[in-house]
Amino acid sequence: MNCSRRRLLRLSGSLLLLSCVVNEVHGDNDVVITMKGTHRGERVWFEPKGVAIEPGTTVTFINRDPGNSHTVTAYHPEIFDRVRRIPKAAKPFDSGYLLPGQTFSLTLTVPGVYDYYCVPHEMAAMVGRIIVGSPALEDWDDSALGAGGVRGDVSAQFPSVRAIFNAR
């Protein structure tokens, strides 16, 4: 295939425009977490599995798994009577089922540890952790770290707070 200079410039301009639209939709300070899976569906995951953000940051989840629907669901008694694994002052969240290409966004303001999972794929260890703020904050809530309520092999998949901060 022969690529002319004009075609290359047009393609570059289109890519630049697309990146501006993505930044406009998600904002410069927003965080994107993708839901992924292998082509045959034998493995599913959130990427990244752990993130650290500042209070007030919007997190957008995008289902990039062409073969599965997924959820983003907080561990909380109000949702399927689960053990609370988010800060006491935080509101629970549940995206409902997201089809491939669909998104779910939430803005997290309460400092602390937020553990979440995908309803149909929790037993496949499709879990993640968001750290809002830092342990140095006076009102930081890390009660999720000792809350239990998940199988040991699933619990082992949550990245440590230290690992999340080191990845910043």
Alpha carbon distance 80, 85 (integer Å) = 13
Q: Could you say which of 20, 35, 39, 76 is catalytic?
A: 76
Residues near 55 by beta carbon (within 8 Å), at least 6 away in sequence:
108, 109, 110, 111, 132, 133
Q: What is the DSSP letter of 10?
A: H
Q: Could you say which of 26, 35, 39, 126 is catalytic?
A: 126
Q: Could you say which of 26, 70, 118, 123 is catalytic?
A: 118
Alpha carbon distance 73, 62 (integer Å) = 14
Catalytic residue list contains 121 = yes
Catalytic residue list contains 70 = no
Q: Could you say which of 1, 3, 39, 121 is catalytic?
A: 121
Catalytic residue list contains 76 = yes
Catalytic residue list contains 39 = no
Alpha carbon distance 76, 94 (integer Å) = 10
**Type of residue numbered 150:** V
Q: What is the DSSP letter of 36?
A: E
Active site residues: 76, 118, 121, 126
